[in-house]
Amino acid sequence: MNTPDTSPPAPVLAAVGISKHFPGVQALDDVRLELLPGEVHALLGENGAGKSTLVRILAGIQQPDGGGMTLGGEPYRPADTAAAIRAGVQVVHQELNLLPNLTVAENLFLQNFPRRFGLVDRRELNRRAAELLAEVGLDISPRTKVERLGIAQMQLLEIARTLWQDCRVLVMDEPTATLTPRETERLFTLLRRITARGTAVLYISHHLEEVFEIGDRMTVFRNGRYVTTRDLADTDTAEVIRLMVGRDLQHEYPPYLPGEPGPELLRAEGLQPQDGQPVSFALRAGEVVGVAGLVGSGRTETVRALFGADRAVGGKVLVKGVPARLRTPRDAVRHGISLLTEDRKSQGLVLDMPLAANVTLTATHKVSWGGLLRRAEENRLAQHAVDSLAVRTPGVRHPVRTLSGGNQQKVVLGRWLLADTDVLMVDEPTRGIDVGARYEIHQQLVDLARAGKALLVVSSDLPELMGICDRILVFSRGRIAGEVPREEFDSSHILTLAYSGYVSAPASATLSSTDPAADASPADASAAERPTAEASATGTPADATSTNGDTR
């Protein structure tokens, strides 16, 4: 991409002057985008910057109000998704688009089943599916029902689905949001193979590190407007953030203020989730405790079992030193424990209900009297949440469906703040959320701890945990592999712990390196990957764990 302008390759896709208006918002205002053959082009911007709208236009889901596009020099104006796919534009959406009751193979070839004598040729179908699965590195049977897969596996499956089709432009909307580092690496290998064929990849992600690793060029949008396009080699993270946000973010994380931990608020002793291992830990007032670990390492299962969202099969929980039976979320809430779930859309929000109703969904007693709702009080408390959390919304009676991801997350957070519980557990609080809102949510979490609450933060984003936590519990294969105090925060150390449960498995005892990440530099994830790749041959880590981790 650094070749001089003498012979620039013709863009495979060019969009100029694209505008799109929705009621109450100009989603896109005269933006442009150029994709060169064989490049990975990052589309960057905060949530609400217009990235998803452009993707929907490229995919033929929506039509632009103004502007025009060309694909391979020809005018491109898809009337619907089928037209876009015919033209060679494939989109892997953030929301997965698979049929859970069908098998992996059936999902892969849904648009074009191999046939024999007019009937589906199952043998051929499964054979071709197995080839594709091998190509994306998915170690699952083509006959597996999709509903039994984990989110990460579904994601790779979705990508595999685009592979057999003729694809000139591949759009990936937040593909790694649910992937572990190992799976992300696998995805990148795959992307490099795809671009080698001349396909242009439009890559949308909030993970800037990944963008710099995989991307060639980037285009930045801000508030629906085009900001710039440049080579990623000529820029750095700080500048990209500045371009996206339009202002300098002094720190990526709120300043750390060491606090004096107070009394113990919550203790889990041998708490064992269904299909999980018993774990023990304690939370004290005033501290932020992180939970690190690979997807499927038992983090989510543990907090859900603790909260009563799923049944625990063993162990006990003490709230302020007193044994408590938390069999349902209701029990947990009554004991002053809350959980912000990892999937805010399916487990957190009632999307079609107003913001106010969502904020007061737990603390209904605060907005009612004898079972009767007090609308004025509800609006007042909701407005208070909107103000204190800086939720960007047209009003408190506005349905939350139309808000951006960051603002939706703030609404769920506002609900638990209103419920005023002593212990707040948050699972992936900033997944898929833009930089500005991320900072605000981090600030809020830290403030809550300093105000005397106990916080448990589950996250796949290690820098996030190291940025805001007092100590980090590292889960590995269902157990707590170690606890790291803030003074000893070090990503390679934490990663080593996270992988330890998988490398010490008996099946991989023959590995030459038993402590593989010891000599790895902090940022070098691939070194830490090696043992798990080995272990996965025995079917242990991500495959086994992500099925029990992500399907429910």
Partner 1 sequence: MTTSAALTRKPRSAALLARQVMGEAGIGIALLALVVVFAVAAPKFATSDNLTNIATEITLNTMLAVGMTFVILVGGIDLSVGSVMALSAVVAGPLLTAHGLSTPVAILLAVLVSALVGMGCGLVNGFVSERWRVPSFIITLGMLNVARGAALQYTNAKTVYDFPAGFSLFGTSTVLGIPTLFWIALAMVAVGHLVLTRTVFGRLVFAIGSNEEAVRLSGHRTSIVKVAVFVISGLTVGIAAVTYMARLNIASPILGSGYELSAIAAVVIGGASLSGGKGSMIGTLLGACLLGVLTNGLLLMGVSDFQRQMITGLVIMVAVVVDYYRGRLAARLPVEA
Q: Does residue 364 bind partner 1 (CB under 8 A)?
A: yes
What are 197's two structure tokens?
């064929």
Task: Tell me which stretch binds partner 1 (CB under 8 A): 7-15, 17-25, 471-479, 512-520.
Answer: 17-25
Task: Tell me which stretch binds partner 1 (CB under 8 A): 120-128, 346-354, 471-479, 481-489.
Answer: 346-354
Rounded distance, CA 459 to CA 430, Å?
A: 8
Residue of the chain from 111, 280, 328, 388 that contacts partner 1 (CB under 8 A): 328
Residue of the chain from 330, 420, 514, 523 that contacts partner 1 (CB under 8 A): 330
Contact between 60 and 80 under an 8 Å Cβ cutoff? The reply is: yes
Residue of the chain from 9, 10, 16, 22 that contacts partner 1 (CB under 8 A): 22
Contact between 50 and 226 under an 8 Å Cβ cutoff? The reply is: no
Q: Does residue 21 bind partner 1 (CB under 8 A)?
A: yes
Task: Tell me which stretch binds partner 1 (CB under 8 A): 70-78, 229-237, 249-257, 324-332.
Answer: 324-332
Task: Tell me which stretch binds partner 1 (CB under 8 A): 45-53, 260-268, 273-281, 505-513.
Answer: 45-53
Residue of the chain from 372, 387, 487, 509 that contacts partner 1 (CB under 8 A): 372
Q: What share of the chain is helix, strand, coil (3-state, %, to 5)?
A: 40, 25, 35
Q: Does residue 429 bind partner 1 (CB under 8 A)?
A: no
Q: Does residue 66 bind partner 1 (CB under 8 A)?
A: yes
Q: Does residue 25 bind partner 1 (CB under 8 A)?
A: yes
Rounded to the nearest angstrom, the gap between the alpha carbon of residue 518 and the centroid of all alpha carbons in its chain is: 28
DSSP state at residue 10: P
Least separation in angstroms between residue 113's CB and partner 1 is: 27
Q: Does residue 303 bind partner 1 (CB under 8 A)?
A: no
Q: Does residue 377 bind partner 1 (CB under 8 A)?
A: no
Contact between 186 and 156 under an 8 Å Cβ cutoff? The reply is: yes
Rounded distance, CA 474 to CA 500, Å?
A: 10
Helical axes 151-163 vs 181-196, angle rounded to 10°: 10
Least separation in angstroms between residue 329's CB and partner 1 is: 5
Q: Does residue 349 bind partner 1 (CB under 8 A)?
A: yes
In sequence order, the 6+-apart residues with CB closer than 8 A to the CB of 398 are 354, 355
Nearest residue (CB) to partner 1, 97 versus 141: 97
Decide: residue 472, CB within 10 A, 0-12 exposed, 13-18 middle, 19+ buried. buried
Tell me the residue type at 388.
Answer: S
Residue of the chain from 94, 103, 379, 404 that contacts partner 1 (CB under 8 A): 404
List residues bridging with 368 in a β-sheet.
373
Residue of the chain from 50, 276, 278, 541 that contacts partner 1 (CB under 8 A): 50
DSSP state at residue 11: P
E strand map for 274-415 = 279-284, 288-292, 312-319, 322-324, 337-340, 368-369, 372-373
Q: Does residue 426 bind partner 1 (CB under 8 A)?
A: no
**Secondary element (H or E) of residue 476:** strand 471-476
Residue of the chain from 11, 14, 52, 161 that contacts partner 1 (CB under 8 A): 52
Q: From residue 188, how far is each of 115, 185, 374, 526 by CA, in Å? A: 33, 5, 53, 12
Q: Does residue 31 bind partner 1 (CB under 8 A)?
A: no
Q: Does residue 415 bind partner 1 (CB under 8 A)?
A: yes
Least separation in angstroms between residue 404's CB and partner 1 is: 5
Q: Does residue 514 bind partner 1 (CB under 8 A)?
A: no
Rounded distance, CA 51 to CA 427, Å?
A: 25
Residue of the chain from 115, 251, 334, 450 that contacts partner 1 (CB under 8 A): 334
Nearest residue (CB) to partner 1, 298 versus 348: 348
Rounded distance, CA 329 to CA 443, Å?
A: 26
Task: Tell me which stretch binds partner 1 (CB under 8 A): 101-109, 155-163, 206-214, 358-366.
Answer: 358-366
Q: Does residue 65 bind partner 1 (CB under 8 A)?
A: yes
Residue with tokens 């707040």: 424
Q: Does residue 70 bind partner 1 (CB under 8 A)?
A: no
Task: Tell me which stretch binds partner 1 (CB under 8 A): 49-57, 72-80, 279-287, 474-482.
Answer: 49-57
As a whole number of Å, the CA-based R_g of the chain is: 24
Contact between 139 and 128 under an 8 Å Cβ cutoff? The reply is: no
Q: Does residue 219 bind partner 1 (CB under 8 A)?
A: no
Nearest residue (CB) to partner 1, 193 versus 327: 327
Q: Which residue in 62, 71, 73, 65 sits closest to 89, CA to CA?
A: 71
Binding stretches for partner 1 (CB under 8 A):
19, 21-30, 47-53, 62, 65-67, 224, 307, 309, 328-330, 332-334, 338-339, 341, 346-353, 357, 361-362, 364, 368, 371-373, 401-405, 415, 419
